[in-house]
């Protein structure tokens, strides 16, 4: 008896999981695509900024071994790389917001039809 009840509940819950209408399926596709694109943007920016920070750390290490003028030049380059890494991250955040805004607009257009 319990197996029949569980199977019935499982079947009913699966029916509720999928989109009911073509509009809902289209909305789900738009949201999934936006989520995937945003994840891709974040991942690429994270990788790029991590590489820049690693290079900056290496340069700072080299600056410790250099004479005064070379050390100052190397520290300036490292600082610039760290600043550029922050800019890359801010740019990625802006791109993610744009992707999400576009998805919301597309969903609103579908709902308005």
Predicted TM-score (pTM) of the model is 0.76
Percent of the chain scoring above 70 in pLDDT: 83
Query: Helix/strand/coil (H, E, C) string of 73-86?
Result: HHHHHHHHHHHHHH
Find the distance separating the first CA and the last CA of the chain, reported in whole Å: 46
- Name the residue with tokens 């805004």: 101
Query: Which residue in 46, 61, 53 sits closest to 92, CA to CA?
Result: 46
pLDDT over 70 at 18, yes or no: no
At 113 the pLDDT is 86
């Amino acid at each position: 008896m319990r197996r029949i009840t569980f199977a019935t509940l499982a079947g009913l819950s699966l029916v509720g999981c999928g989109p009911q209408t073509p509009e809902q399926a289209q909305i789900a596709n738009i949201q999934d695509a936006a989520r995937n694109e945003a994840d891709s943007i974040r991942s690429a920016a994270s990788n790029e900024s991590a590489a820049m920070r690693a290079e900056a750390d290496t340069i700072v290490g080299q600056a410790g071994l250099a004479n005064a003028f070379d050390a100052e030049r190397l520290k300036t380059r490292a600082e610039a790389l760290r600043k550029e890494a922050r800019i890359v991250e801010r740019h990625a955040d802006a791109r993610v917001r744009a992707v999400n805004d576009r998805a919301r607009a597309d969903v609103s257009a579908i709902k308005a039809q």
